[in-house]
Amino acid sequence: MTMNDRFSGSKAEALLDAHVAWVIARLEGDALQIEVERRLDWVLADAAKLKLEDVVTVTSVKQTAIGYASDMTVGGAIPALVGDVALALYEHPIQEKTRLEQLLPDRQFEELLDKVLELKELREAVVHESVSNPIFADLITELLYSGVRDYVATSTKFAGKLPGAKSAMKFGKAFVDRARPELGTSLEDGIKTYVNKNTQTSLNASERYLQEAFESEEFRQVVLDFWDTNKNATLASVRDFAGQLDIEELFVIGYEYWQQLRKMPIYKELIEAGIEVFFDTYRKTSLTELLDDIGVSRDMMVADAMRFLPKIVAGLKKKGLLEQQIRRQLEDFYRSDVVAATIE
């Protein structure tokens, strides 16, 4: 007689059937929440006796975090999915109803502005680097040159001292070069010499002006006035500055950069550093205290379980999978020699 023949119709099989039916009954209706709460209370009671270092090591947490954050190969469907989500968010009608001030109230905007204005060293460095940029120097040079050139062209006092100067600058260098080459060249060279001598002085003055302006109450008020003028704008009006294609292209650029960033040593090292701080802080803390500090309560866990479990159980039962799964977990025990010997 085979093992299956001995088990079929046996008391062990009857016990297995009864056990399966008993488990299923505890997963349906009001009994499910009672079972969830009872089992969760058991787990939390044990968790209060365990410290974080009793169940995990900092090394294992690091390995898991790095594995998912850096080493894991992202499936090809993920970028497309995230792109679809980004597009859906871009087109969502809620943006037509949401104003900027709803996302950033006046008090928070002022606090943020004041904090930014307090970052004096950073502000001074940004202003200095901006003013030192060749593009800014070219701008100052062009402004000086145009200003002096226009002044010479329109000033009757200057023109009176230098016959032909006013006409030379008004008609342009090309005309003067044909009529009186020596006059056009002389004026242009003189202006360029003056501008070159004064560009650095103007750059220094610009930097001082900007530094003082950012520290002034007037600048703060200008920013607040700008916010007051625009805070009632909807997100949609801001969103429209970038089209759908722009959003898609920005997403591609951002995704490609993230793929590079997650492979950089700094990315892994910062993750590991954060984990070390967390583990050092909670190493001796019980698991229940850790949950409390994070803000996860028993009621939240019960609510989340009951949000998903009824649908999962119903779906498994409808497909005929619930009883199969329970039976698979129990059947080996009831077919064992231990049970057979106990029954006999």
Domain positions in the chain are 1-50+286-344, 55-97+257-284, 106-233
Confidence band (pLDDT; 50, 70, 90) for 5? low
Q: Which one has a higher pLDDT value, 143 or 155? A: 143
Q: What is the mean pLDDT of residues 331-340?
A: 93
Whole-model pTM? 0.71
Confidence band (pLDDT; 50, 70, 90) for 188? low
What's the burial of 4, exposed, middle or buried (CB within 10 Å: 0-12/13-18/19+)? exposed
**Res 4: pLDDT:** 62
Q: What is the mean pLDDT of residues 19-44?
A: 96
Q: For 264, which DSSP code?
A: S
**pLDDT of residue 49 exceeding 50:** yes
Residue labelled with tokens 């059937």: 17
**pLDDT of residue 190 exceeding 50:** yes
Confidence band (pLDDT; 50, 70, 90) for 176? very low
Q: What is the pLDDT of residues 152-161, one digit of tens each?
A: 666 555 544 5
Residues 197 and 331: their CA atoms lie apart, in Å, by 95
Q: Which of 28-37, 131-140, 187-196, 204-213 has the weakest average pLDDT? A: 187-196
**pLDDT of residue 180 exceeding 60:** no
Q: What is the mean pLDDT of residues 224-249?
A: 88
SS (H, E, C) 218-245: HHHHHHHHHHHHHCCCEHHHHHCCCCHH
Close Cβ partners of 293 (under 8 Å, ≥ 6 residues apart):
282, 285
**pLDDT of residue 19 exceeding 90:** yes
**pLDDT of residue 173 exceeding 50:** no
Tokens coding 253: 């650029």
Residues 56 and 63: their CA atoms lie apart, in Å, by 12
Residue labelled with tokens 């169940």: 55
What angle in degrees, to the nearest 10, is found between the helix axes of 287-294 and 30-47?
110
Residues 310 and 300: their CA atoms lie apart, in Å, by 16
Q: What is the pLDDT of residues 297-317, one digit of tens each?
A: 999 999 999 999 999 999 999
**pLDDT of residue 210 exceeding 70:** yes
**pLDDT of residue 250 exceeding 70:** yes
Q: Which of 142-151, 154-163, 245-254 has the weakest average pLDDT? A: 154-163
Q: Which of 17-31, 218-232, 247-261 has the weakest average pLDDT? A: 247-261
Backbone φ/ψ region at 9: left (φ over 0), alpha (ψ -120 to 50), beta: left
**Res 183: pLDDT:** 44
Close Cβ partners of 129 (under 8 Å, ≥ 6 residues apart):
none
Q: Which one has a higher pLDDT value, 331 or 133? A: 331
Tokens coding 260: 């590079």
- Provide the mean pLDDT of the chain: 85
**Res 3: pLDDT:** 59
